[in-house]
Amino acid sequence: MIQITAHHRLLLAVDPADFRKGIDSLAALCQHHFSCDPFNGTVFVFTNRRRISVKLLAYDGNGFWLCQKRFSSGKLKWWPKTQEQALNLRASELLVLLAQGVPTETHIPDNWREII
């Protein structure tokens, strides 16, 4: 099981992704779209066009994790509209997002120290 902590770097794709893509295609998308090495431990987060499903791609040093959550009812209430919103999302806010909540409306305290 993959655990997302405050130490993880998160990158959310603002534009929807084709969910027929697997690990290799999404890793290539990470390299071209984010200009980021998918092997560095960053957690990449994608959603589909209808916002009823989310995929996470992460490399843990031994292999890739590709996790998908498809909501049984409803869809995402919030998804970043700009890259700036996507870059400012913290791990605790991602968990709210995955529970179909709105992370910008939650009152989660700041991390106890800045993670670099």
Q: Are 77 and 101 a contacting pair, CB within 8 Å?
A: yes
Whether residue 107 is contained in a domain is answered as no
Whether residue 39 is contained in a domain is answered as yes
What DSSP character marks residue 103?
G
Model confidence over 16-45: pLDDT tens digits? 999 999 999 999 999 988 889 999 989 999
Expressed as residue numbers, the domain containing 23 is 10-101
Stated as kind and residue range, the H or E segment containing 12 is strand 10-12
User: Any idea which residue has 């968990």 for tokens?
Assistant: 95
Model confidence over 56-103: pLDDT tens digits? 999 998 999 999 999 999 999 999 888 888 778 888 899 999 999 998
Whether residue 89 is contained in a domain is answered as yes
Whether residue 59 is contained in a domain is answered as yes
| 54 SS3 class | strand
Whether residue 23 is contained in a domain is answered as yes
pTM of the model: 0.86
Residue 87, by phi and psi: left (phi above 0), alpha (psi -120 to 50) or beta? alpha
Structure tokens belonging to residue 26 = 């999404």
Whether residue 87 is contained in a domain is answered as yes
- The whole-angstrom separation of Cα 74 and Cα 23 is 26
The number of domains in the chain is 1
Whether residue 5 is contained in a domain is answered as no
pLDDT higher than threshold 80 for residue 110: no
Find the radius of gyration of the CA atoms of the chain. 14
Whether residue 1 is contained in a domain is answered as no
